[in-house]
Structure formats: C-alpha cells, structure tokens
C-alpha cells in the first residue's frame, strides 16, 4: 500500500524521507525522523510504535542492523511489516516480512534506502534510489524528486491518495514536515506545498532561534 525513500545529506547533516500510499494520512504513522539520529520507516501492515523505538535505538548508538533485529524481537507480528532504518552517517537496512502485500521490493544506495509494497513492479524502489543518487540540492527536493521517480516508474498498483515529506536538521523539530493526507494526486500536491514552503523555511528557523531578527509575518496587523 506504500512506497517510500529515505536519505541523508552528509554536507548539512540533514536526514529525511518521502512517502506515499493509497491509504489516508500515511506520513502520520509510517515516517519518522530525528535530528542527528536518522530515519525510520514502518509500512505494509503498519505498527507505528516501531518508528520511535527505532530512532531511540539509533540514538543509543546501535547500528541499523542491530535496530532491525531489536524491532523483530519487540514485535511478534514483524512478518506483517516492511521496515527501513537509515542512520545519520548513511548506513541503512530494510526488511520485508513474509506477509508483505502484493509485489514488494527494496533497494539501497549511497546514503539512501527505498522500499514499497503492492507495487506495479519490483523496479520502483531502484528508480527512487537512482533519482536520489543522481540529484543535488536541498535534501527535501532530492527526496521529493525520488518519490516522483518512483511514481513515474509505476508506483503502487492502484492510485495513491496521501503523501508526506519530512526532513530534520540542526533544530530538534523537523524543518520540513509537509503532508497531503487525502488527494487525487497527492505527490503533485505535495510538490506544490514544498514549492510554497521552501522560500519561507529559513524564516521559520530564524523565528525559533533568533526572534529579534525574524522577518515580518507579512499579514495584516504585523508591522
């Protein structure tokens, strides 16, 4: 029901992911990021508890492979899950349980992982990896472009309805946390949201870190 990609930017320390699904509100329960730590993806028949647990274990210094083993111990129904773990140094791993739905596959690249289930074909994750590895710019842009490449390669067997884009950087809160929870073309809509958010992103970081030098909100009453 879902395909996703996670990546890091070694130059900036950013970590993030992009995800889409035929299910509603996919990013609310399947995508997890943490500054200086990494990314956790939990999809297929989802157990959202595994996302924060994976990040806690990464933060403790466990490798992605160790984290995946711990998740399998923590969840007796792990064979229903599809999981991805990527740490802040670009080391990643994926898992697809025996009960993963439909056509499913995963792929790994330099500083990135991708996976999906109920896919049109097994090449979708690799298409996302290829896009990510051959792109430049802000991590959010690279991740969104990779998600678009996955859709162009066939995507999910049926139509997708929700999508999300998350990136964590130096602040403890995600500097990019964009969601389209229900739409006929959620990835296209997510692209529009990102294009409107990107020019304002730094201003919101400044407001948190240095409010005395923050830009005007530009709304009536804000002089």
Domain range for 117 is: 2-213
Enclosing H/E stretch for 89: none
Query: CA angle, 116 as apex, 110 and 118 as ends, to 5°?
Result: 160
What phi, psi does 62 have (nearest 5°)?
A: -70, 150
Q: Which are the contacts of 171, defined by CB distance < 8 A and separation ≥ 6? A: 35, 205, 208, 209
CA separation for the pair 97, 117 (Å, rounded): 11
Q: Which are the contacts of 60, defined by CB distance < 8 A and separation ≥ 6? A: none
Residue 196: burial class (beta carbons within 10 Å; 0-12, 13-18, 19+): exposed
Q: Is residue 155 part of a domain?
A: yes
Q: Is residue 218 part of a domain?
A: no
Overall domain count for the chain: 1
Q: Is residue 222 part of a domain?
A: no
CB 75 within 8 A of CB 50: yes
Per-residue pLDDT of the chain (223 residues; tens, 9 = 90+): 899 999 999 999 999 999 999 999 999 999 999 999 999 999 999 999 999 999 999 999 999 999 999 999 999 999 999 999 999 999 999 999 999 999 999 999 999 999 999 999 999 999 999 999 999 999 999 999 999 999 999 999 999 999 999 999 988 899 999 999 999 999 999 999 999 999 999 999 999 999 988 887 777 877 6
CB 51 within 8 A of CB 32: yes
Q: Is residue 223 part of a domain?
A: no
What phi, psi does 191 have (nearest 5°)?
A: -60, -45
In this structure, what CATH number is given to the domain that contains residue 48? 3.60.20.10
């Amino acid at each position: 029901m879902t395909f996703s990609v996670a990546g890091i930017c070694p130059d900036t320390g950013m970590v993030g992911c992009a995800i889409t699904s035929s299910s509603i509100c996919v990013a609310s329960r399947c995508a997890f990021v943490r500054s200086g730590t990494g990314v956790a993806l939990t999809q297929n028949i989802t157990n959202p508890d595994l996302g924060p647990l994976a990040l806690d274990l990464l933060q403790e210094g466990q490798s992605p492979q160790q984290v995946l083993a711990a998740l399998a111990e923590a969840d007796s129904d792990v064979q229903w899950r599809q999981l991805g773990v990527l740490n802040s140094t670009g080391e990643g791993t994926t898992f697809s349980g025996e009960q993963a739905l439909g056509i499913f596959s995963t792929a790994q690249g330099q500083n990135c992982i991708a996976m999906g289930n109920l896919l049109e074909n097994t090449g979708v994750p690799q298409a996302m990896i290829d896009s990510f590895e051959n792109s430049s710019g802000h991590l959010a842009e690279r991740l969104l472009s990779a998600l678009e490449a996955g859709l162009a390669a066939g995507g999910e067997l049926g139509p997708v309805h929700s999508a999300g884009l998350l990136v964590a950087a130096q602040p403890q809160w995600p500097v990019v946390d964009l969601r389209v929870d229900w739409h006929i073309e959620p990835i296209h809509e997510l692209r529009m949201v990102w294009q409107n958010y990107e020019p304002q992103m730094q201003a919101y970081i400044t407001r948190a870190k240095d409010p005395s030098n923050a830009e005007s909100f530009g709304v009536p009453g804000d002089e």
